[in-house]
Amino acid sequence: MKTDTEAFAGGVAVITGAGAGIGSGLARRAGELGMTVVVTDISSERAEAVAAEIKAKGGRAEAMVVDVSKPAELDRLAAEVVDRFGDVRLLVNNAGIETIGYTWEIPADRWEATLNINIHGVVHGVRAFAPYMLEAGKEAWIANLASVGAFSVMPTQTAYIMTKHAVQSFTECLYLEMQLKQAPIHVSSIMPGMLKTSIFEAAAGKGEPEAASAHRKAMFDLMANYGMDLAEGCQRILEQVAEGKFWVSTQPEMTQAAVDGRIQFFRDQSPPFLAGEAKQLLGID
């Protein structure tokens, strides 16, 4: 079992969606651990800002613009990173968006963006980088951003929740595939609980139904008031990834509660139901 410094210092990290939120926190932490951090984001301004922060603290970072919803861009990224920086030690498929609204009210283009970024971005991130990592034959780490939402359901967050269920099952299968290949590549599913990020800010909901704004604000306020500090959460994440853990949680008790509820649901084979906290969030008596 390795510490995060032992595992990652001197290596190359590629983090998607690293211009904001959890991705930016992971990028900063990877920089602190002595990695060369490839900070990718769809926004050049955000990516450059995070890379500049890392370099200002004495770290090494490079900003790259990537739209993870386009598989060809991930292919280009993988080829360019390996050509310029060498073998990738840590790949974090983090890029994702939250979408809120009733299933039938979310516009088609927002649905497509959510599925393409949250699911296909992870799938094609692995597809693009894994062959290089396997060919190198060195110990490496792949971590995909799932969520405690991968073990729960929430109406009007359907689009986001279903993508996280998909990422979880994909990552479980990927773990087994690496075992089947007897590859020295560790696979982790990152399940953040509640971290203080910008994912529920109003601007992030562009393209959502107007009625989604109240739910988005309630989630934003909840996160702001009760969320874990981003830096602390990202430190916990990379410590567990370095240890080779598959289940990586920022708040294990939240993960356990979600898993326990899901197990009970399957055992009882009951209709889907809302817990008390969810009812309160949605304003249901």
Catalytic residue among 102, 132, 160, 226: 160
226 counts as catalytic? no
DSSP string, 112-123: HHHHIIIIIHHH
| Burial zone of 243 (CB within 10 Å; 0-12 exposed, 13-18 middle, 19+ buried) | middle
* CA nearest neighbour of 192 among 232, 148, 157, 256: 148
Token duo for residue 63? 């900003």
Inter-residue contact 140 to 90 (CB < 8 Å): yes
C-alpha 67 chain-centroid distance: 15
The contacts found for 128-131 with CB under 8 angstroms, 24 or more apart, are: 128/71, 128/74, 128/75, 128/77, 128/78, 129/14, 129/74, 129/78, 129/88, 129/91, 130/185
Q: How far apart are CA 37 and CA 54, in angstroms?
A: 8
Beta bridge pairs of residue 155: none
C-alpha 74 chain-centroid distance: 16
* CA nearest neighbour of 159 among 203, 230, 215: 215
Q: How many CB atoms lie within 10 A of CB 242?
A: 21
Q: How many CB atoms lie within 10 A of CB 30?
A: 32
Which residues are identified as catalytic?
160
